Structure 1
Amino acid sequence: MDRSAYASLSAQEGSHWWFVARRAIVDALIRTRIAPRANARILEAGCGTGGNLAMLARHGTVDALEYDGESLALAMSRGVGTVAVGALPDQIGFGDNCYDLIVLLDVLEHVEQDRASLAALRERLAVGGSLLLTVPAAPWLWSDHDILHHHKRRYTLGSLSAVARSAGLEVKEVGYFNSLLFPVAVLARFAQRLTGRTTVADSRPVRPINALFRHIFCMERHLIGRISLPVGLSAYAILSA
């Protein structure tokens, strides 16, 4: 990821509408669709600056890996779980530990070897364990935002399911989210293309807009897994070995 973009986003991880709402949705998926056992062993692969660690720690004991040195230091400074340097697909670390829950939150799109990465994580699932991942969806929405953040691809539900199955994983559930704001994003992307604007705004919007977007996006935690949302800016999958 571009350094300036990453610094901007990581500084806002606690308050930016997208980060706050995604955490709420991931938390809801873990509670209602996975329901790991008490004191579950959890691995976050690609934890960034550690913004999800406290939420994950409510569900069990957390290990986390991160490749980027600056992000790793920030994640370690949070004092939540065990955070170590690592990378997908072949530098997962933590010995031979297996996990009841592995989460991969907007990471797979950054990895060249997505199938090999999922196959490697499959080997670290405990019996009965689940892998929860989120990715950007709708390849036709590819934009300067994806280029700035060094995405390799965006996924459809079909392509996400296919790469999971090719890695030897069973697809238990797959779906879209960040759906309620989808029309706003589509209009913004097309306006960008029409005007030729290439700059990408990642900074937190003004407080009223930030609060509105957070509220709208957070509402989806009551819908996800209960109804099938027809489209979304993001996709999720719950997988098992």
Structure 2
Amino acid sequence: MDLKEEDILGADICRHWYYRAKAAALSRAVASLEPRHILDVGAGSGFFSRHLLEKTDAQAALCVDTGYAADRDDSSNGKPVRFRRTIGHVDCDLVLMMDVLEHVDDDRGLVRHYADRVPPSAHFLVTVPAFSFLWSGHDVFLEHKRRYRLGEIEAVLRAAGLEIVCGSYYFGFVFPLAVVVRLASRNASDPRTSLKRHGALTNGLLCAACAAELPVFPINRLAGLSAFVLARKP
């Protein structure tokens, strides 16, 4: 999860259309798994694992991020949330990597590192920013290394030893608008995020557009701002 965006949105992150929509897509993507124990890699505040603890029968989350000042324990919806800088082997059934792999040089190595630490049959839900042609000051600001086509991120996960269950794009309904905005800002003199606070009307309209997309989200392999891939450790 992009900590810079968390800092910008602050407490509004739970209401912002982008994070609300991504959390809804996450819930849909893992609904059939009924996860109980979550490992959230590069978790930041733990926004996405907290969402699953509040909206599903998941029982506990372990959030890992090298950016934490210290290890600590917390709770969400009465369920334990542990924050750790490093981990050993973990008994979990779902690993989240939400907008993490685009930040590291060795994406395959990072996936393999955590795949070695979880049990067989554990699932991985990975999201990354999509399409290199959308590269802009937004990516520079967030210190991204790359953007991915769906087939490219699936290849990364296969190379790390995982089996692909399914993959799709999301934010397809807002994709045309985002293309215009990103390409227009490509030559901006200073890197800046395109994510910002919106008024209630704009935020509501964008939320509605993303909600309308959810029924076709699982079969969208055409276009979107984010690629979602569900994979499994054999």
Instruction: Return the TM-score normalized by structure 1.
Output: 0.84
Residue aligning to 1:239: 231
Residue aligning to 2:91: 98
* SS of structure 2 residue aligned to 1:30: helix
Residue aligning to 2:68: 69
The one-letter amino acid paired with 2:170 is: F
User: How big is the shift at 1:129?
Assistant: 1.9
Q: Which structure 1 segments of 5+ residues have no match?
A: none
Of residues 185, 204, 211 in structure 2, which corresponds to 1:211?
204
Of residues 44, 48, 63 in structure 2, which corresponds to 1:52?
48
User: How big is the shift at 1:66?
Assistant: 1.9
- Could you tell me how far apart the structure 2 residues matched to 1:184 and 1:71 are? 40
Q: Does 1:127 align with 2:115?
A: no
* SS of structure 2 residue aligned to 1:126: coil
Go from structure 1 to structure 2 and tell me whether the alpha carbon gap of 1:202 and 1:160 turns closer, same or farther (over 3 Å shift). Answer: same
- Could you tell me how far apart the structure 2 residues matched to 1:46 and 1:193 are? 27
* SS of structure 1 residue aligned to 2:179: helix
User: How big is the shift at 1:222?
Assistant: 2.0
The one-letter amino acid paired with 1:97 is: V
- Could you tell me how far apart the structure 2 residues matched to 1:25 and 1:3 are? 20
Go from structure 1 to structure 2 and tell me whether the alpha carbon gap of 1:155 and 1:141 turns closer, same or farther (over 3 Å shift). Answer: same
- Could you tell me how far apart the structure 2 residues matched to 1:11 and 1:71 are? 22
Q: Does 1:228 align with 2:225?
A: no
User: How big is the shift at 1:175?
Assistant: 1.5
Residue aligning to 2:137: 144
Q: Does 1:31 align with 2:23?
A: no
Residue aligning to 2:21: 21
Of residues 87, 103, 109 in structure 2, which corresponds to 1:110?
103
* Coordinate RMSD, CA, aligned: 2.6
User: How big is the shift at 1:173?
Assistant: 1.0
Q: Which structure 2 segments of 5+ residues have no match?
A: none
The one-letter amino acid paired with 1:240 is: R
Go from structure 1 to structure 2 and tell me whether the alpha carbon gap of 1:199 and 1:162 turns closer, same or farther (over 3 Å shift). Answer: closer
- Could you tell me how far apart the structure 2 residues matched to 1:71 and 1:17 are? 31
User: How big is the shift at 1:122?
Assistant: 1.4
The one-letter amino acid paired with 1:51 is: F
Is the CA contact (8 Å cut-off) linking 2:3 and 2:44 kept in structure 1? Answer: no
Go from structure 1 to structure 2 and tell me whether the alpha carbon gap of 1:104 and 1:195 turns closer, same or farther (over 3 Å shift). Answer: closer
User: How big is the shift at 1:41?
Assistant: 1.8
**In percent, how many aligned pairs have the same letter?**
30
- Could you tell me how far apart the structure 1 residues matched to 2:230 and 2:186 are? 34
User: How big is the shift at 1:105?
Assistant: 0.8
* SS of structure 1 residue aligned to 2:14: coil
- Could you tell me how far apart the structure 2 residues matched to 1:46 and 1:195 are? 29
Instruction: Return the TM-score normalized by structure 2.
Output: 0.86
The one-letter amino acid paired with 1:55 is: H
Residue aligning to 2:151: 158
Q: Which moved more, 1:164-173 or 1:54-63?
A: 54-63
* SS of structure 2 residue aligned to 1:132: strand
The one-letter amino acid paired with 2:154 is: S
Residue aligning to 1:182: 175
